[in-house]
C-alpha cells in the first residue's frame, strides 16, 4: 500500500503545476490589461480559456490519483 500511496501523491501533484500556471497567466493578463485597457475583453476570454485547460489537467491528475488508490 505504501508504493501505491506514493504514486497517488505524485499523480496529485499535477494540481501544483496547474495552480502555478494559472497564477502566472493571471498576473500576465492583468499586466496586459494595464498596458492595453481597450483589449480587456479579448484578454479575459483568452485567460479564461487557458485557465480552463490548466484546471482540466489538474482534474485529470486527481482522477488518476483516485484510480490508483482505489483499484489496488
Domains of the chain: 2-71 (1.20.20.10)
Going by C-alpha positions, the residue among 67, 33, 29 that lies closest to residue 46 is 29
In this predicted structure, what is the pLDDT of residue 35? Answer: 96
pTM: 0.77
Q: List pLDDT tens digits, range 7-55.
A: 888 888 888 888 999 999 999 999 999 999 999 999 999 999 999 998 9
Place of cell 479564461: 48
43 in Cβ contact with 17 (< 8 Å):
no
Residue 72 has pLDDT above 80, yes or no: no
In this predicted structure, what is the pLDDT of residue 71? Answer: 86
Amino acid at each position: 500500500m505504501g508504493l501505491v500511496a506514493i504514486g497517488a501523491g505524485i499523480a496529485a501533484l499535477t494540481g501544483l503545476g496547474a495552480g502555478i500556471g494559472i497564477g502566472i497567466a493571471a498576473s500576465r493578463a492583468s499586466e496586459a490589461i494595464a498596458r492595453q485597457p481597450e483589449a480587456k475583453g479579448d484578454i479575459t476570454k483568452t485567460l479564461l480559456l487557458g485557465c480552463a485547460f490548466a484546471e482540466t489537467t489538474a482534474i485529470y491528475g486527481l482522477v488518476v490519483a483516485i484510480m490508483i488508490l482505489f483499484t489496488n
